[in-house]
Amino acid sequence: MDDSNKKDDKPAEGLRKGLTSYGDSGFSLFLRKAFIKGAGYTDNALDRPVIGIANTGSAYNPCHGNMPQLIEAVKRGVMLAGGLPMDFPTISIHESFASPTSMYLRNLMSIDTEEMIRAQPMDAVVLIGGCDKTVPAQLMGAASAGIPAIQLVTGSMLTGSHRAERVGACTDCRRYWGKYRAEEIDGEEIADVNNQLVASVGTCSVMGTASTMACVTEALGMMVPGGASPPAVTADRIRVAERTGATAVAMAKQGLTPDKIMTGKAFENALRVLLAIGGSTNGIIHLTAMAGRLGFDIDLERLDAMGRETPVLIDLKPSGQYYMEDLHKAGGVHALLRELKPLLHLDTLTVTGRTLGEELESAGPGFPQNVVRPFSQPIYPQGGIAVLRGNLAPGGAIIKQSAANPELMEHEGRAVVFENLEDLVTRIDDEDLDVKADDVLVLKHIGPTGASMPEAGYMPIPKKLARAGVKDMVRISDGRMSGTAAGTIVLHVTPESAVGGPLAYVKSGDRIRLSVKNREISMLVSEAEMETRRKDNPVTPPTAERGYRQLFLKCVTQADKGVDFDFLRAGETTERIPRDRG
């Protein structure tokens, strides 16, 4: 019998949460139940904890191509644990289908996620994401929304095979494209490779941003143990989805909110893992943005100090040789955490309600494998990412040292400057371009406000040098690069050129010095000369007439604040992390 008209004195949980404002709460619930019953639900179903499931499936997002199977498995897990699953759509962002950049839309997706969690009745939420910007956007939104939340990633794609060589997106995409530009392979072969690089649905198969965010999210405690590594098309991935659904119900009952899991110590664990996996440089930006939502500021100097004592242990491309499916077979993130144990906070809470240390204990001992190295035999002796400073980047810059060319890490050279992306595209392959192998390529105006920070920091080697066999050059910009890319590439120069940072005033012919050993990035130009250049060419930051672009340009922060919008960050900073261990 329908009992919707009975007086309802139950606490504001499940469907009773966040009633729509009609000035009569009884009527609001009555109406809500009437509508949901139109979809065939019974009162028994509607009386259970409601678990929202953020559905980011989209025909434009093949990295999320297994979304229907994952949602089905999450729902099964929720129902087995006595909850009511309710999936709902949000924005989905794929790297190659978002213009001008996926980064431009990350904050919008985080707002969408936060507001739909707030607006709709749910006691916990399962966030299903995977492609680079989606996981940070979801965790930023969930951190701000404040209800129990758990991350499920779609999982990595399988590797393909090109003429008996194993290939995967997207380190090999760049490598083969480089060969094609250098005229080492022809049009027919590059078309063949194109069919093999992405062998199934799922996220990029190397330690790019998607894999990085999956690993650091597991270290943060925001996904079920073992949830980072199963490939998208495996039974393991589906089982992780079912466990995620069941765990979400338990989290709803316990009131296990993100602030209890994503603590300062948990972010330190995540940063430690970022360094030890040779993770994407984008990981720093995303972790900074996520931490900023909860009142934590990431201190780049201390992060660099942390990097000096954290070796890279995972042998995945682009720093090493293997792929995500190999990491999974080697024991996944647990195999790494076991090695890093002495450097981790083991008392941080995870979505299971148990601590990271307890989860590690219950995972048992490891087994012999080649993908996760022992602490004593790293693939790179320090953390993958180093923080640079100097008169070119007073607010900091970074370099992925584990994927850089050791011969170029101490380098002084002549700047060859490109004013913006258009200038780069127009001139980089010009046979008359005055450029030599030991020059330093400088690209301006690809920072947050300049061009919404595209992954264009990985500038192509000028064709005439590529043909001559040049594989790497020092490259500097205020932009980002894909986590799948490798090279001696200085990124995230802060402040950016579009707001008048020193990078805006570099001229072709200036001498530039990079010293990774001394953590220095400098232009050898006197302060007096810089002052003259500033006076002669004052920089006017870009503006927009209307819409989201106007909001973006007004409110976006620099890389050192995670490129989040200023009004989305926590009101005040409560802690600087990593904490000073000195």
**Residue numbers of the site for ligand FES (CB under 6 A)?**
63, 94-96, 131-132, 169, 203-204, 208, 210
Cβ proximity to ligand FES, 214 vs 240, nearer residue: 214
* CB-neighbour burial class of residue 172 (10 A; exposed 0-12, middle 13-18, buried 19+): buried
Residues 416 and 441: their CA atoms lie apart, in Å, by: 5
Cβ proximity to ligand FES, 203 vs 522, nearer residue: 203
Cβ proximity to ligand FES, 114 vs 132, nearer residue: 132
193, β-bridge pairs:
none
Cβ proximity to ligand FES, 203 vs 348, nearer residue: 203
Nearest approach in angstroms of CB 286 to ligand FES is 13
Residues 175 and 166: their CA atoms lie apart, in Å, by: 13
Nearest approach in angstroms of CB 197 to ligand FES is 11
Cβ proximity to ligand FES, 232 vs 290, nearer residue: 232
Residues 135 and 145: their CA atoms lie apart, in Å, by: 15
Q: How many CB atoms lie within 10 A of CB 473?
A: 25
Q: How many CB atoms lie within 10 A of CB 182?
A: 17
Cβ proximity to ligand FES, 210 vs 512, nearer residue: 210
Nearest approach in angstroms of CB 477 to ligand FES is 21
Query: Containing H/E element for 55?
Result: strand 50-55
Nearest approach in angstroms of CB 94 to ligand FES is 6
What's the token pair of residue 544? Answer: 């927009």
Nearest approach in angstroms of CB 321 to ligand FES is 19
Nearest approach in angstroms of CB 455 to ligand FES is 10
Alpha carbons within 13 angstroms on the beta-carbon side of residue 498 total 24
Sign of the torsion formed by the C-alpha atoms of 325, 328, 333 and 338: negative
Cβ proximity to ligand FES, 96 vs 537, nearer residue: 96
CB 420 within 8 A of CB 498: no
Nearest approach in angstroms of CB 482 to ligand FES is 8
Among residues 68, 42, 72, the alpha carbon closest in space to that of 57 is found at 68
Cβ proximity to ligand FES, 212 vs 449, nearer residue: 212
Residues 116 and 486: their CA atoms lie apart, in Å, by: 38
Residues 478 and 418: their CA atoms lie apart, in Å, by: 12
Sign of the torsion formed by the C-alpha atoms of 278, 173, 469 and 480: negative
399 — alpha (psi -120 to 50), left (phi > 0) or beta? beta
Nearest approach in angstroms of CB 134 to ligand FES is 8
For every residue of 107-149, DSSP letters joined together read HHHHHHHHHHHHHS--SEEEEEE-STTHHHHHHHHHHHH-S-E
3 state DSSP class of 336: helix
Angle at 82 between CA 260 and CA 68, to 5 degrees: 85
Report residue 155: phi and psi, to 5°. 95, 160
Nearest approach in angstroms of CB 102 to ligand FES is 9
Cβ proximity to ligand FES, 49 vs 62, nearer residue: 62
Among residues 337, 152, 109, the alpha carbon closest in space to that of 239 is found at 152
Cβ proximity to ligand FES, 66 vs 348, nearer residue: 66
Nearest approach in angstroms of CB 435 to ligand FES is 30
Cβ proximity to ligand FES, 390 vs 457, nearer residue: 457
Nearest approach in angstroms of CB 155 to ligand FES is 10
